[in-house]
């Protein structure tokens, strides 16, 4: 999203309708409530949200994105300028990545100390939150969500942006598949994928 403003960090991305602070329309659609590792965590609700100013299609249509932390990399129209990396948190807040090394990366407009981000390699980042939760981002996508007790959810991604979530035991919590007409979200219980799809958008 080359158009960027810190006003997006004043927005409640889980609300429905027009945001009074920015005037943009927001849509938030819960998909599944997940509690991994036999209720030991992590626990979270996977959802789709709509951002009018996001021109990227992640597989759900332009402007629609999952509420998973990710990094968008965009190339300005002037190819002489470096690519722009934007960190988008699960809660919808977004920050421009300005620098990165083994030390904490610099985020433009970050004013609170609720989390830290570290650049592990050229393509891997680790986010550490004050509540003990950590997230691993590889090639721009979240691949691990780990709670403070060490239990985690692993997310494996395919080239078409479909993905599968598993816990420490290898239990499949949720998997997705993309058809030629619409993305399909397939819930899974005890490693068995249900059919037909639970939801299609």
On the question of pLDDT at 132 being above 70, the answer is yes
Residues 57-91 have pLDDT tens digits of 887 888 899 999 999 887 777 776 777 888 999 98
pTM: 0.78
CB 174 within 8 A of CB 42: no
Selected residue with higher pLDDT from 120 and 17? 120
Mean pLDDT calculated for residue range 148-160: 94
Domain locations along the chain: 6-180
Q: How confident is the model at residue 102 (pLDDT cuts 50, 70, 90)?
A: low
Q: What is the pLDDT of residue 133?
A: 96
d(CA 60, CA 45) in angstroms, rounded, equals 18
The pLDDT, as a whole number, for residue 192 is: 37
Strands (E), the chain: 17-18, 25-35, 43-51, 64-66, 70-74, 84-88, 94-99, 106-107, 115-119, 124-129, 134-138, 141-146, 152-157, 163-167, 172-178, 183-189, 192-193, 199-200
């Amino acid at each position: 999203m080359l158009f960027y403003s810190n006003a997006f960090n004043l927005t409640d991305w889980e609300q429905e309708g027009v945001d009074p602070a920015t005037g943009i329309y927001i849509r938030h659609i819960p998909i599944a409530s997940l509690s991994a590792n036999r209720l030991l965590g992590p626990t979270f609700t996977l959802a789709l949200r709509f951002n009018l100013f996001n021109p990227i299609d992640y597989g759900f249509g332009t402007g629609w994105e999952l509420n998973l932390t990710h990094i968008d990399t965009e190339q300005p129209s002037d190819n002489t300028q470096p690519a722009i990396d934007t960190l988008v948190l699960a809660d919808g807040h977004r920050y421009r990545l300005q620098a990165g090394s083994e030390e904490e990366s610099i985020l433009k407009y970050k004013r609170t100390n609720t989390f830290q981000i570290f650049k592990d390699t050229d393509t891997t980042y680790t986010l550490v939150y004050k509540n003990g939760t950590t997230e691993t981002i590889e090639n721009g996508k979240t691949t691990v969500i780990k709670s403070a007790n060490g239990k985690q959810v692993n997310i494996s991604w395919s080239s078409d942006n479909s993905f599968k979530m598993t816990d420490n035991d290898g239990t499949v919590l949720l998997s997705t598949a993309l058809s030629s007409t619409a993305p399909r979200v397939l819930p899974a219980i005890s490693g068995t994928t249900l059919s037909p799809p639970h939801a299609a958008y």
